[in-house]
Chain A
């Protein structure tokens, strides 16, 4: 791990030395407020407006939390989109509108996510298959199985379950609270537990971690399970919010690539070992405020795509450009 220590610019302080998440959050807030003021929609800065903004972060935020773990250990998970669809469809199929089935359905989905996570982790950590290929493949398999079985798997979630997605105690939507709680849990795990410290160790230097006595494979596996669980919760949330799942909600939401993008925008290194959930939240907030601002400005759908592409690149470039080494 030879690290270039020759940089003499360490004393120079600029905005680039600020933590990435803070800068991204500030940028998101700036974009949102500017858009609201510029289009004369100051009421979007009210509590309801903001809770609407936060609501937009939930699905992607939940996936992003899980994806953060996968990327932190130096892996990546492209199967999340397919898993989201599968979970959403499975949940609505199992519930069939029956409140009594809420808990069994949730449990079944969690078990499914566990299995997918273990398979992903196993392929990556134990078999040594490149994570992009491994998770792309499991995603394809899931998506195929889902599309094949979907018409057989019709159904809808229980109304009580659906209500969860629409409740807003104290004006804060319940799903936003859920995201907040899970984010705190994730932060806690990463920052305060041995398990979290070991994840960083495995991602930062797998050989070193192994020599330090860590069972690297287990941590990669665990990270993949967490990534799958994140997708699972996102799928359940979407099922609740949308009443029933379709085999395309994951793919149409582009949750695979977007979750990777927000994690990286939040300052987590694709090579692993650096970053955290705060950055991911900042990233998803940036995406949500962009969405909301595009709406306020009435940006054309295709132009939106162009801008989003440019912003993804710019947001990462701002921090990446000072890297000394080569990046591929």
Chain B
């Protein structure tokens, strides 16, 4: 039985590797995002959520509407802390603009594509909405629903996109390749050729995460760094820690940890502490717990981000559209900064909870910091 399953496994691995190469390794997009990372942002200084990286503007005069507006938002869900912080940002932005907003209607799809399609349908049927914001669960699934919505309303899509150009604009930071590039280039710059890196990832098959890994992998390959393992831990700290311990127990030297999302970064580091080993070079994300640990333990680290401030932008865009102001589109590329040793201190806020995302851009919003769970 074991022989068989190992055989099957080998086959599957063989298939998967070729498939990754096809699906999530788009050299053109990789190149584009690499360029975007170094593009100078246009827009108000110090407000990255209002900035954009190049691209065109779209005219929205036909959507102009007077009075207070009802903004409707179909959310994929709040199933992880990133989305929780993001939703708080959006609500904060709406509170900031409360003079111009009649109501912000939020329907939560709980991660179910099918429900989100129905949610969008019922928002349209309800007839209250002036503009629709969609954060899709999956790209392909939501396309028809968004297309149907475009016929009735101005639509704004953010985070993940849809396969149609009908929304007024699609707001997103640079993207997954950019995330992978920033983190992997940092690690490669700190380690000699032939070093070992362990990749800790959330789940397979999710586009925004797979692109991060494929970008990092190609940079590691180029730099001659061995990826000794790529493990999925489902955002589970216990699992992350166990997996890293298992690798340590195998006696293999781990020089760096690369993560496609940083929410279990501190758990990975704890495995080294418990084993009495020095910390590896690590790439995490902009969560407070990681930043604090980085500062306290003087890690060699970087925190690339997929900034949650992008949740503010759709509200701003929605109001601009209803005012008839032109907005960046049909793609609105937001800057995607990384936290480095130099900027680290400015992102640490001891009041904030462990998994607060520091690049929330929410410090100026009403209700900060309590609404974001500060003590």
Question: In their complex, do chains A and B touch, with some C-beta pair under 8 Å?
Answer: yes
Which A residues form the contact surface with B (CB < 8 A)?
41, 43-44, 46, 48-49, 52, 55-56, 59, 145, 147-152, 154, 156, 162, 166, 238, 241-244, 246-249, 252-253, 291-292, 295, 298, 300-302, 304
- Tell whether, in the assembled complex, residue B106 and residue A154 are in contact, meaning their CB atoms are under 8 Å apart: no
Query: How close is B351's CB to chain A, nearest CB, in angstroms?
Result: 23
| Bound Cα distance A247, B138 (Å) | 12
Give a binary string over B90-127; 1 marks a CB under 8 Å from any A CB, 0 the rest. Answer: 00000000000000011110111111011101100111
- Tell whether, in the assembled complex, residue A43 and residue B127 are in contact, meaning their CB atoms are under 8 Å apart: yes
| Bound Cα distance A222, B143 (Å) | 38
- Tell whether, in the assembled complex, residue A249 and residue B114 are in contact, meaning their CB atoms are under 8 Å apart: yes
- Cβ-closest 8 pairs across A and B: A242-B141, A151-B19, A148-B12, A301-B108, A152-B15, A152-B19, A243-B140, A252-B111
Residues of A within 8 A of B16 (CB): 148-149, 151-152
- Tell whether, in the assembled complex, residue A154 and residue B23 are in contact, meaning their CB atoms are under 8 Å apart: yes
**Chain B stretch 114-150: residues in CB contact (< 8 A) with chain A:** 114-115, 117-119, 121-122, 125-128, 138, 140-141, 143-144
Residues of B within 8 A of A242 (CB): 113-114, 117, 138, 140-141
Residues of A within 8 A of B13 (CB): 148
Contact of A162 with B144 at beta-carbon distance under 8 Å, contacts A298-B106, A301-B108 already known: yes
Interface centre among A46, A151, A162 (most CB of B within 10 A): A151
- Tell whether, in the assembled complex, residue B122 and residue A295 are in contact, meaning their CB atoms are under 8 Å apart: yes
- Tell whether, in the assembled complex, residue A147 and residue B15 are in contact, meaning their CB atoms are under 8 Å apart: no
- Tell whether, in the assembled complex, residue B125 and residue A59 are in contact, meaning their CB atoms are under 8 Å apart: no
- Tell whether, in the assembled complex, residue B112 and residue A151 are in contact, meaning their CB atoms are under 8 Å apart: no
- Tell whether, in the assembled complex, residue A149 and residue B15 are in contact, meaning their CB atoms are under 8 Å apart: yes
- Tell whether, in the assembled complex, residue A44 and residue B121 are in contact, meaning their CB atoms are under 8 Å apart: no
| Bound Cα distance A27, B117 (Å) | 25
- Is the contact region of chain B dominated by helix, strand, or loop, or is it mixed? helix
Interface size, chain B (Cβ < 8 Å): 41
- Tell whether, in the assembled complex, residue B204 and residue A151 are in contact, meaning their CB atoms are under 8 Å apart: yes
| Bound Cα distance A166, B140 (Å) | 15
- Is the contact region of chain A dominated by helix, strand, or loop, or is it mixed? helix
B369 within 8 A of A: no
Contact of A238 with B114 at beta-carbon distance under 8 Å, contacts A44-B126, A151-B19, A152-B16 already known: yes
Closest B residue to A239 by CB, please name it: B141
| Bound Cα distance A49, B127 (Å) | 11
| Bound Cα distance A317, B216 (Å) | 53
Residues of A within 8 A of B117 (CB): 241-242
Residues of A within 8 A of B113 (CB): 238, 241-242, 246, 249, 252
- Tell whether, in the assembled complex, residue B105 and residue A298 are in contact, meaning their CB atoms are under 8 Å apart: yes
Residues of B within 8 A of A52 (CB): 118, 121-122, 125
Contact of A292 with B122 at beta-carbon distance under 8 Å, contacts A148-B16, A152-B16, A244-B140 already known: yes
Closest A residue to B108 by CB, please name it: A301
- Tell whether, in the assembled complex, residue B205 and residue A150 are in contact, meaning their CB atoms are under 8 Å apart: yes
Residues of A within 8 A of B121 (CB): 52, 55
- Tell whether, in the assembled complex, residue A41 and residue B126 are in contact, meaning their CB atoms are under 8 Å apart: yes
Closest B residue to A48 by CB, please name it: B125
Residues of B within 8 A of A304 (CB): 108, 110
| Bound Cα distance A44, B128 (Å) | 12
Residues of B within 8 A of A295 (CB): 107, 119, 122
Residues of B within 8 A of A49 (CB): 122, 125
- Tell whether, in the assembled complex, residue B141 and residue A44 are in contact, meaning their CB atoms are under 8 Å apart: no
- Tell whether, in the assembled complex, residue B126 and residue A43 are in contact, meaning their CB atoms are under 8 Å apart: yes
| Bound Cα distance A217, B122 (Å) | 45
- Tell whether, in the assembled complex, residue B141 and residue A241 are in contact, meaning their CB atoms are under 8 Å apart: yes
B18 within 8 A of A: yes
| Bound Cα distance A94, B296 (Å) | 53
Query: How close is B102's CB to chain A, nearest CB, in angstroms?
Result: 14
Closest A residue to B14 by CB, please name it: A152
Contact of A56 with B115 at beta-carbon distance under 8 Å, contacts A43-B127, A242-B140 already known: yes
| Bound Cα distance A301, B125 (Å) | 21
Residues of B within 8 A of A302 (CB): 78
Residues of B within 8 A of A55 (CB): 118, 121
Query: How close is B26's CB to chain A, nearest CB, in angstroms?
Result: 13
B324 within 8 A of A: no
Query: How close is A317's CB to chain B, nearest CB, in angstroms?
Result: 24
- Tell whether, in the assembled complex, residue B204 and residue A301 are in contact, meaning their CB atoms are under 8 Å apart: no
Residues of B within 8 A of A238 (CB): 113-114
- Tell whether, in the assembled complex, residue B205 and residue A246 are in contact, meaning their CB atoms are under 8 Å apart: yes
Query: How close is B157's CB to chain A, nearest CB, in angstroms?
Result: 16
